[in-house]
Amino acid sequence: MDEIIVIRAADPDGSVFQAVMDALKGKRAEMIDVVEQSASVLRIGDLEIHHEQRRVLMAGREVELNHGEYAMLYCMASSPGQMFSKAQLYEAAWGGGISKRDKLRGEYHLAAETETGT
């Protein structure tokens, strides 16, 4: 008997998708997208971003990124030539602005760099 499994889950870091794909290795399985996807691969030089799988390759080697790193990279790569503020990148990654603690931390680093002359 053929079975159809439909999975819909929040998967911001791609771990659920990867776990399902790992479980299906060696099995007769087929993945069909029922929703039209946007550009599946962004390429910038040796950098490849496979957005559907949330995978990043640099010169053919996989780069492991956490959710925030991936979201910021994808945001920048999908809008070449555009400059982003720290707040815009935080918004892309976590849906919110910079916290007061992070602002203070950034000001501290700036002050420390100024004092040391770096």
How confident is residue 49, by pLDDT bands cut at 50, 70 and 90?
very high
Using CA atoms, how far apart are residues 41 and 49, in angstroms rounded to an integer? Answer: 5
Reported as a single tens digit per residue, the pLDDT across 55-98 is 999 999 999 999 888 988 998 888 877 888 888 888 888 886 55
Whole-model pTM: value is: 0.49
Listed in order, strand segments (DSSP E) in 13-110 are 41-44, 47-50, 55-58, 61-63
Reported as a single tens digit per residue, the pLDDT across 3-31 is 666 666 666 777 877 887 788 888 777 66
Using CA atoms, how far apart are residues 38 and 104, in angstroms rounded to an integer? Answer: 38
